[in-house]
Amino acid sequence: MTEILEPRCVTTELSGWGRFSRRSVRMASPRNESEIALLARNGGLIARGSGRAYGDSAIGTKLTLDMRRMNRMLAFDEATGQLTAEAGVLLSDVIATFLPRGWFPYVTPGTKFVTLGGAIAADVHGKNHHINGSFGAFVDWIDVLGADGEIVRIGPDENSEMFEWTLGGMGLTGVIVRAAFRLRRVGSGWIRKTTVPAANLADAMAAFETADEALYSVGWIDCLARGASLGRTLVMTGEHADANDLPRDYRAHPFKTPVRRRFTFPFDAPGIVLNRFSIRAFNALYWQLGLRAPRETLVDYDSFFYPLDRMLGWNRIYGRRGFLQFQCALPLENAKSGLTRLLTETAQAGQGSFLAVLKRLGAQQSRFSFPMEGYTLALDFPATPTALALLKRLDAVVIDHGGRFYLAKDARMSSETLCRSDARIDAFRDMRRMRHLEHTFSSDQSQRFHL
Ligand SMILES: Cc1cc2nc3c(=O)[nH]c(=O)nc-3n(C[C@H](O)[C@H](O)[C@H](O)COP(=O)(O)OP(=O)(O)OC[C@H]3O[C@@H](n4cnc5c(N)ncnc54)[C@H](O)[C@@H]3O)c2cc1C
């Protein structure tokens, strides 16, 4: 009989994508479920995918499991579009393999460098949440390794309660080892994109509501605009193009898209590079370019879904101090007043954000996932004491308006703030206690939130 040896652990420094609060951790890179089971015996572990969550959700209290070696695609069913893969497979690899065959993920976040495990654990949403819901809606089953080291298959019809907790459960229900999820048929690698400049928040929301049948919609907000221009937004919509929508020269190879040169941000930018003046200038320029952009264009999928992926390591632009992302969801009925207050507070603080993204979320009933019917706003700030103070004020606005926060983006919120924003926390804690999960699976984030 072959003896399974516990994989070697190394000590390394880890942080989330925001590079805020780094620390030295023990990390292991298992190759199979037996190795994970051995590593799980001592508890205090969390699975980590690509580390694209902004905060400390993928840092284990005692041990972090780097899942990227478990990255095989195992089976594909042409009839249903169902792909079975190990949890460490990257969405970028799924696209590279299946787009040339006419398939694309139903739901994708704004970066394709996420793993399947990370996409499920955060139950990520894309620009089509209002039509398709979140990633979990296309997951048929998941194999999860629990506190007893055993694998359990969970899905909408099999251990469904555990399935629902695992979607958005941030790795705290066990280690996702493999899963089956569905891809959609597409006719090309191109997107028919429309850009509508909206002069203020009311116009932006009206543009989203008008575009409610567009498959994809997203808004970029100039979050430093004030007064009558508060909330001015470039609202972009998109649809997958068919081969017939493409210029004649492209029709023979509809899945061939330009290979974009990638840049690597070479160093930690000094803090002075990002200040209120450079951010204001960037926001104003981006708005002006948007005004002049053609209203309808054909763009390749990479430019539409993943503009930030072209600059590898772009998170270093905020310098060594790192940055914080704030992402909330506001219920539809309070969205206008909540967004107005959030943008007013941000503009008054002069704490502009390079990336200020607004999306319309559709209805979603879930045990622990982030989305709710309404709007979601995401803002980035350099990690400074002023930004931290502003974020506390923004937290209060979200709570006042019945909204909640996205755990995949959080790096600093208090347990009290989380509990005040989300009535589901107690049930999540009870589930973890009853299933003896809390000592085996824990991250820095779950400790901070006393989950
Ligand atoms: C540029 C950028 C754009 C983004 N845009 C969006 C967006 O539009 N929509 C959106 O929803 N999110 C978005 N995100 C967030 C990102 O999609 C999520 O944080 C996602 O979870 C990251 O996946 P990952 O593989 O990097 O996981 P990690 O960041 O490594 O981990 C995230 C969480 O998943 C858990 N996890 C990872 N693998 C496993 C596993 N095998 N088993 C159990 N748990 C696991 C971790 O414990 C952790 O709690 C964006 C992030 C970036 C950097």
Report the pLDDT value the prediction gives residue 2, as an integer from 0 to 100: 58
For residue range 201-226, what is the model confidence (pLDDT) as tens digits? 999 999 999 999 999 999 999 888 88
Give 124 Cα–ligand 1 centroid separation in angstroms: 7
Side chain identity at residue 158, one-letter code: E
Report the pLDDT value the prediction gives residue 54, as an integer from 0 to 100: 97
- Regarding the beta carbon of 91 and ligand 1, being less than 6 Å apart is answered no
pLDDT bucket at 374, cuts 50 / 70 / 90: very high
Give 117 Cα–ligand 1 centroid separation in angstroms: 8
33-37, 85-89, 103-107, 288-292: least confidently modelled range: 288-292
Report the pLDDT value the prediction gives residue 290, as an integer from 0 to 100: 81
For residue range 424-445, what is the model confidence (pLDDT) as tens digits? 999 999 999 999 999 999 999 9
For residue range 379-392, what is the model confidence (pLDDT) as tens digits? 999 899 999 999 99
pTM of the model: 0.96
Report the pLDDT value the prediction gives residue 288, as an integer from 0 to 100: 82
Tell me the C-alpha distance between 333 and 152, whole Å: 40
In the chain, what are the domain boundaries?
Answer: 68-186, 190-415
Average pLDDT, stretch 310-332?
A: 87
Give 119 Cα–ligand 1 centroid separation in angstroms: 5
Return the residue whose CA atom lies nearest to atom 49 of ligand 1: 170
pLDDT bucket at 274, cuts 50 / 70 / 90: low
Percent of the chain residues past pLDDT 90, beyond the cut: 82
pLDDT bucket at 5, cuts 50 / 70 / 90: low
Of residues 290 and 242, the one with the higher pLDDT is 242
Return the residue whose CA atom lies nearest to atom 3 of ligand 1: 110
Checking if the pLDDT of 269 tops 70, the result is no
Average pLDDT, stretch 86-108?
A: 98
| Spatial CB neighbours of 423, under 8 Å, sequence gap ≥ 6 | none
Checking if the pLDDT of 228 tops 90, the result is yes
Q: Which residue in this structure is represented by tokens 């997951």?
A: 139
CB atoms inside a 10 Å sphere around CB 408: 28
Report the pLDDT value the prediction gives residue 309, as an integer from 0 to 100: 87
Report the pLDDT value the prediction gives residue 267, as an integer from 0 to 100: 64
- Regarding the beta carbon of 411 and ligand 1, being less than 6 Å apart is answered no
> Ligand 1: which atom is nearest the Cα of residue 134?
11
What does each C-alpha distance from 17 to 150, 252, 374 come to in angstroms? 31, 39, 26
Report the pLDDT value the prediction gives residue 287, as an integer from 0 to 100: 81
Q: Which two tokens stand for residue 401?
A: 């308006």
Checking if the pLDDT of 270 tops 70, the result is no
CATH number of 190-415: 3.30.70.2520
Give 346 Cα–ligand 1 centroid separation in angstroms: 26
Of residues 248 and 279, the one with the higher pLDDT is 248
Report the pLDDT value the prediction gives residue 236, as an integer from 0 to 100: 96
- In sequence order, what are the beta bridge partners of 75? 84
The angle that helices 332-349 and 385-400 make with each other, rounded to 10 degrees, is 160
Give 16 Cα–ligand 1 centroid separation in angstroms: 10
Asked if residues 172 and 451 have their Cβ atoms less than 8 Å apart, the reply is yes
For residue range 121-130, what is the model confidence (pLDDT) as tens digits? 999 999 999 9
157-166, 263-272, 334-343: least confidently modelled range: 263-272
CB atoms inside a 10 Å sphere around CB 312: 13
pLDDT bucket at 265, cuts 50 / 70 / 90: low
Tell me the C-alpha distance between 191 and 442, whole Å: 40
Of residues 166 and 260, the one with the higher pLDDT is 166
Query: Residue 295's closest CA among 235, 224, 351?
Result: 235
Percent of the chain residues past pLDDT 70, beyond the cut: 96
For residue range 133-142, what is the model confidence (pLDDT) as tens digits? 999 999 999 9
Report the pLDDT value the prediction gives residue 353, as an integer from 0 to 100: 77
Query: Residue 310's closest CA among 378, 357, 264?
Result: 264
Q: Hey, CA dihedral for 199, 205, 208, 209, is it positive or negative?
A: negative
Query: How many Cα atoms sit within 13 Å of 26 on the Cβ side?
Result: 11
- Regarding the beta carbon of 48 and ligand 1, being less than 6 Å apart is answered yes
Give 51 Cα–ligand 1 centroid separation in angstroms: 7
Checking if the pLDDT of 1 tops 90, the result is no
Asked if residues 243 and 253 have their Cβ atoms less than 8 Å apart, the reply is no
Q: Same topology for domains 68-186 and 190-415, yes or no?
A: no
> Ligand 1: which atom is nearest the Cα of residue 70?
41
Of residues 5 and 120, the one with the higher pLDDT is 120
**Helices and strands, number each (H, E), in the chain:** 13, 20
- Regarding the beta carbon of 90 and ligand 1, being less than 6 Å apart is answered no
Report the pLDDT value the prediction gives residue 368, as an integer from 0 to 100: 97
Report the pLDDT value the prediction gives residue 294, as an integer from 0 to 100: 81
> Is 68-186 CATH 3.20.20.140?
no
CB-count exposure of residue 57 (10 Å: 0-12, 13-18, 19+): buried
Of residues 320 and 393, the one with the higher pLDDT is 393
Report the pLDDT value the prediction gives residue 87, as an integer from 0 to 100: 98
Query: Residue 9's closest CA among 57, 33, 42, 56?
Result: 42
